Amino acid sequence: RTPSSPSPRSLPPSMPCSGSSLVRRIGLVALALLGVPLSAHAQKMSLPAESQVPLLLKVLTYDRQFEVRAAPEVVVGIVYVAGDPDSQAAAEEVGQTFYKFAGKTVKKLPLKYVMVEYRSAAEVEKLLKDKGIKVLYVTPGNSKNLGELVKIAQANGLTSATGVPDYVKKGIAIGV
């Protein structure tokens, strides 16, 4: 040890001395250098659907105009990308959770859900109108379609929601 180097006890808490921490940091740097997209992890849902759905339904009750916009029933459209396994798995998980809420209401309005496969913005918009969708739930895997989905939701007065934190930064109204 040289006189100018700090003793291990004088290191600030933000500089851990453990080897495992160093290995993790080196691993992350190596992944970044290899070109492995770390942002793919950011597109995962932050909570399981069983936790998200009740929270989302509770948040909807705080919107004073929701009853007027959603009447005669609350229809949630779960938007997924068919070729994306994460998107399909998330849509299935969210759909199964909504299925458990069959017979429930939001602000005295009956609750339903429909699966919406994203093929094009025009098809999604047509389905929204045909099925009476009032809430658009966006699953992981929709990052390429996100701009269009946000525009569709805003143009049609829909509430948009997601379990992907990055999507909220890009315009989705509710993040759970």
Task: State yes or no: pLDDT of 144 exceeds 50.
Answer: yes
Average pLDDT, the chain: 81
pTM to 2 decimal places: 0.74
Task: State yes or no: pLDDT of 9 exceeds 50.
Answer: no
| Total Cβ atoms within 10 A of residue 132 | 15
Instruction: Identify the H or E element spanning 138.
Output: strand 135-138
As to burial, measured by CB atoms within 10 angstroms (0-12 exposed, 13-18 middle, 19+ buried), residue 114 is: middle
The better pLDDT of the pair 115, 41 is held by 115
Task: Return d(Cα 132, Cα 116) in angstroms, integer.
Answer: 12
Task: State yes or no: pLDDT of 21 exceeds 80.
Answer: no
Q: pLDDT-derived band of residue 33, with 50, 70 and 90 as boundaries? A: very low
Looking from the CA of 37 toward its CB, the CA atoms found within 13 Å total 5
Question: Across-strand partners of 110?
Answer: 105
Task: State yes or no: pLDDT of 86 exceeds 60.
Answer: yes
Residue 148 and residue 111 in contact, taking contact as beta carbons nearer than 8 Å? no
Q: What is the pLDDT of residues 145-169, one digit of tens each?
A: 999 999 999 999 999 999 999 999 9
